[in-house]
Amino acid sequence: MPVQRIVSLLPAATEIVCALGLESQLAGRSHECDYPESVKQLPVCTGAHIPDGLSSAAIDQKVKQLLTDALSVYSVNREQIKQLQPDVVITQAQCEVCAVSLPEVEKALDDYLENPASIISLQPATLNEIMGTIVEVATALQVRPQGHALVEELEERLDIIRHKLKFVEARPTVACIEWLEPLMLSGNWIPELVQLAGGTPILAERGKHSPYIEWADLWEANPEVIVVMPCGFAIERTLREMHILLQLPGFSDLQAVKNKRLYVADGNHYFNRPGPRIADAAEMLAEMIFPKQFVFGYEGEGWIKFEV
């Protein structure tokens, strides 16, 4: 198997490469790639145009402004990538907000590298497609058997949840909140994970982009379980803005809140990354939705119960 120099501009792709046993071939990463911990020592090849410390509303406004002005939310460090001379660059074509996009990478690398690099662009929207991207990356990096083995291992973990819930009939309604202001629910693979973990997803559809919703829609749906998992936010960051939800008229009267079934999860590391830790996300949802049946040990680190 030839050694390849890989630059990953997508956190999920970095995790896939490492899970395939190819971390030693990673030459560079994006500014958001932070798992496993050891990848943080790699050269950073991207930057963000959004200042740190902005509120959810301000981030949303800044992103919309950049995209309206036909500017990217992220920048690609062409000089850094040129120095690294990669054989393979991995990026995504799904969301201009989540990571460096394919057009941005193509523009940055066009006629710039001494030797042209292969560009792998990932855009999974469902659980099956996430598994497919793992095999796709493994195939491109000439370790296809390892890709199939990794997918098989992840599917076995998901099957444990499915099997344990096989005869459960009562499936609580679940709202997964992906952004606080404006209010947005989690789409793509999240409704599927909720269903797998024994819940009934509301107001968002499997395989479709995360929808903005009105507070009245959530109030009317009155979910039995609410999981707050903002995109790109760890638990501590989300806790700083929970007041946005608490100030909504009647929020404390929702049955999820009254029954102490309001949770905050680490959206950044688990739910927003379509890679190997998607199995962790499913296990966390199972713990939150059916706490008596599942204890995987994520409480406190991957998710917490929020007391109002």
Is the peptide bond between 182 and the residue preceding it cis, with omega within 30 degrees of 0? Answer: yes
Residues paired with 193 in a beta bridge:
none
pLDDT band at 154 (very low <50, low <70, confident <90, very high): very high
pLDDT tens for residues 13-38? 999 999 999 999 999 999 999 999 99
Q: Round the average pLDDT of the chain to a whole number and report it.
A: 90
Question: What are the sequence ranges of the domains in the chain?
Answer: 6-123, 170-305
At residue 87, the pLDDT reads 92
Query: Above pLDDT 70, what percent of the chain?
Result: 88
- The stretch 213-224 carries a mean pLDDT of 97
The reported pLDDT for the residue numbered 74 is 72
User: For residue 265, what pLDDT band results from cuts at 50, 70 and 90?
Assistant: very high
pLDDT higher at 47 or 269: 269
The answer to whether domain 6-123 has CATH 3.40.50.1980 is: yes
- At residue 102 the predicted structure's pLDDT band, cuts being 50, 70 and 90, is low
* Same topology between domain 6-123 and domain 170-305: yes
Please, are residues 204 and 188 in contact by the beta-carbon 8 Å criterion?
Answer: no
Amino acid letter for position 156: E
Q: Find the mean pLDDT for residues 188-207.
A: 96
| Average pLDDT rounded to a whole number, residues 230-241 | 95
Predicted confidence (pLDDT) per residue in 59-79, tens digit = 777 767 655 554 456 778 888
Distance CA 40, CA 286 (A): 30
Q: For residues 19 and 13, give the distance between their C-alpha atoms in angstroms, rounded to a whole number.
A: 10
The whole-number average pLDDT for the span 108-126 is 78
- Tell me which fold the domain 170-305 belongs to: Rossmann fold (3.40.50)
Average confidence (pLDDT) over 119-138: 94
The predicted pLDDT at position 139 comes to 96
Q: Is the confidence at residue 146, as pLDDT, over 80?
A: yes
* Buried b / exposed e along 223-245 (16+ C-beta atoms within 10 A): bbbbbbbbbbbebeebeebeebb
CA-based nearest residue to 173, from 191, 188, 159: 191
Distance in angstroms (rounded) separating the CA atoms of residues 190 and 63:
23
